[in-house]
């Protein structure tokens, strides 16, 4: 058996897997001299509080075909969270699986992320009590005043969070920022001549059935998977979310995870008057709440997640898929791993540590009819 020395870790959503991800994987593997590449991937809900277009099994298969050797699930307790908690959960899992390198895309890979991390406020809540801006804006203004560096681009912010989380490890990974190609993370327009575009732009093209544009931006397997499977967006969940908001008392809404500053009153009123999810978000938006924060709140409301239900530490590693190289690595690390590795879930897991992830999958399964956990086994390529 070959000895694996360089283990590359990547935090991903692959929503959907596109040409930019192919470039990122190839570049990261080359820089890390990777013997094996592990992707820790969000499940059926992603960090900005949106349902993934394709389910986690479809996206796992595309990731393996695209260059990953092993895909594990980022538990719901981390996947639908602000950047710092998202990063902490993901980086910790990669560390447990023996990763030696951590690669991430960034708009400005030359940025001195370590200096930014060193200058972050020790108690952010005491610095940002103004109610005229969102927390991310106030946080970035503080860092820019301290360092002169502008941390406003989406992937730079995530990169900062990865470096901060990595610095907390007992044995930090070697960090590999990789320049993001093409449009910015949230750019919704597609350059007609480009073969790389943002995930947001590609999702927009998919939802408008502009398949000629999509075909230039994603691998053939992604295109085929998008075209033959039911895709899911917030519009599909809007009736269920609206029901939850209108039928739940303000007292109970106040107990939902991350509910604060009386936003439950505004959410309830917006649900009463809005015709669709986009209209609801616009009505609920305030200067203090970003759209991502509102969407995450909506996920917690939909799933009835209260303030005590999200543990701060991971309790398992769910294996979604692997190839031969990934399987070899699993065999090497499973005895040393400090968390149980599971490739299928039993009733004991569903009723215990895996319950929130099961709920997150079940809510999707209600729409598509495709089993997400109880009957699923790890995908082998």
Give the separation between CA 317 and CA 343, rounded to whole angstroms.
9
Contact 373, 350 (CB under 8 A): yes
Instruction: Please tell me whether 132 is known to bind a ligand.
Output: no
Instruction: Please tell me whether 180 is known to bind a ligand.
Output: yes
Other beta carbons within 10 angstroms of residue 142's beta carbon come to: 17
CATH 3.40.50.620 residue ranges for the chain: 7-231+311-380
Give the separation between CA 187 and CA 202, rounded to whole angstroms.
10
Per residue in 99-157, pLDDT (tens digit) is 999 999 999 999 999 999 999 887 655 555 555 677 778 888 888 888 988 888 889 99
Contact 191, 199 (CB under 8 A): no
Instruction: Please tell me whether 172 is known to bind a ligand.
Output: no
> Which secondary-structure segment (H or E) carries 73?
strand 70-74
Domain 7-231+311-380 classified CATH 3.40.50.620? yes
Give the separation between CA 198 and CA 177, rounded to whole angstroms.
18
Instruction: Please tell me whether 20 is known to bind a ligand.
Output: yes
CA separation, residue 292 to residues 46, 241, 256, 336 (Å): 10, 16, 16, 37
* pLDDT given at position 175: 98
Instruction: Please tell me whether 140 is known to bind a ligand.
Output: no
pLDDT tens track of the chain, all 381 residues? 456 689 999 999 999 999 999 999 999 999 999 999 999 999 999 999 999 999 999 999 999 999 999 999 999 999 999 999 999 999 999 999 999 999 999 999 999 999 999 998 876 555 555 556 777 788 888 888 889 888 888 899 999 999 999 999 999 999 999 998 865 545 566 877 789 999 999 999 999 999 999 999 999 999 999 999 999 999 999 999 999 999 999 999 999 999 999 999 999 999 999 999 999 999 999 988 999 999 999 999 999 999 877 888 999 999 999 999 999 999 999 989 999 999 999 999 999 999 999 999 999 999 999 999 999 999 999
Instruction: Please tell me whether 16 is known to bind a ligand.
Output: yes
Angle, vertex CA 314, rays to CA 319 and CA 66, nearest 5: 35
* pLDDT given at position 308: 79
Instruction: Please tell me whether 105 is known to bind a ligand.
Output: yes
Give the separation between CA 330 and CA 70, rounded to whole angstroms.
8
Instruction: Please tell me whether 166 is known to bind a ligand.
Output: no
* pLDDT given at position 128: 56
Instruction: Please tell me whether 14 is known to bind a ligand.
Output: yes
Instruction: Please tell me whether 219 is known to bind a ligand.
Output: no
Contact 31, 178 (CB under 8 A): yes
* pLDDT given at position 188: 64
Instruction: Please tell me whether 323 is known to bind a ligand.
Output: no
* pLDDT given at position 241: 98
pTM of the model: 0.94
Contact 168, 120 (CB under 8 A): no
């Amino acid at each position: 058996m070959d000895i694996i020395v360089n283990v590359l870790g990547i935090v991903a959503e692959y929503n959907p897997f596109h040409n930019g991800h192919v470039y990122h994987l190839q570049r990261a593997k080359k820089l890390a001299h990777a013997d094996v590449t592990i992707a820790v991937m969000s499940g059926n809900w992603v960090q900005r509080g949106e349902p993934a277009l394709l389910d986690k099994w479809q996206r796992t298969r595309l990731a393996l075909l695209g260059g990953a050797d092993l895909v594990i699930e980022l538990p719901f307790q981390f996947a639908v969270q602000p950047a710092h908690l998202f990063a902490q959960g993901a980086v910790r899992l990669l560390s447990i699986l023996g990763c030696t390198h951590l690669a991430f895309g960034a708009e400005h890979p030359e940025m001195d992320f370590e200096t930014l991390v060193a200058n972050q406020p020790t108690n952010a809540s005491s610095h940002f009590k103004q109610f005229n801006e969102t927390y991310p804006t106030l946080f970035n203004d503080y860092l820019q005043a301290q360092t002169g560096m502008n941390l406003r681009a989406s992937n730079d912010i995530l990169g900062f969070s990865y470096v901060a989380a990595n610095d907390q490890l007992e044995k930090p990974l070697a960090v590999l920022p990789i320049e993001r190609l093409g449009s910015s993370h949230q750019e919704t327009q597609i350059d007609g001549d480009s073969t790389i575009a943002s995930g947001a732009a590609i999702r927009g093209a998919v939802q408008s059935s502009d398949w000629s544009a999509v075909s230039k931006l994603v691998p053939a397997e992604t295109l085929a998977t998008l075209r033959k499977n039911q895709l899911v967006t917030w519009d599909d969940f809007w009736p269920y979310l609206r029901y939850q908001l209108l039928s739940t008392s303000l007292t109970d809404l106040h107990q939902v995870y991350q509910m604060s500053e009386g936003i439950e009153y505004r959410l309830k009123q917006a649900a009463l008057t809005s015709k669709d999810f986009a209209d609801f978000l616009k009505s609920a938006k305030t200067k203090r709440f970003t759209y991502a924060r509102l969407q995450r709140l909506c996920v917690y409301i939909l799933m009835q997640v209260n303030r005590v239900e999200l543990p701060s530490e991971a309790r398992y590693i769910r294996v979604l898929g692997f190839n031969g190289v990934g399987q070899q690595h699993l065999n090497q690390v499973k005895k040393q791993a400090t968390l149980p590795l599971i490739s299928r879930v039993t009733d004991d897991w569903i009723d215990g540590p895996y319950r929130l992830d099961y709920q997150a999958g079940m809510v999707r399964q209600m729409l598509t009819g495709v089993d997400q956990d109880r009957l699923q086994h790890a995908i082998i390529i």
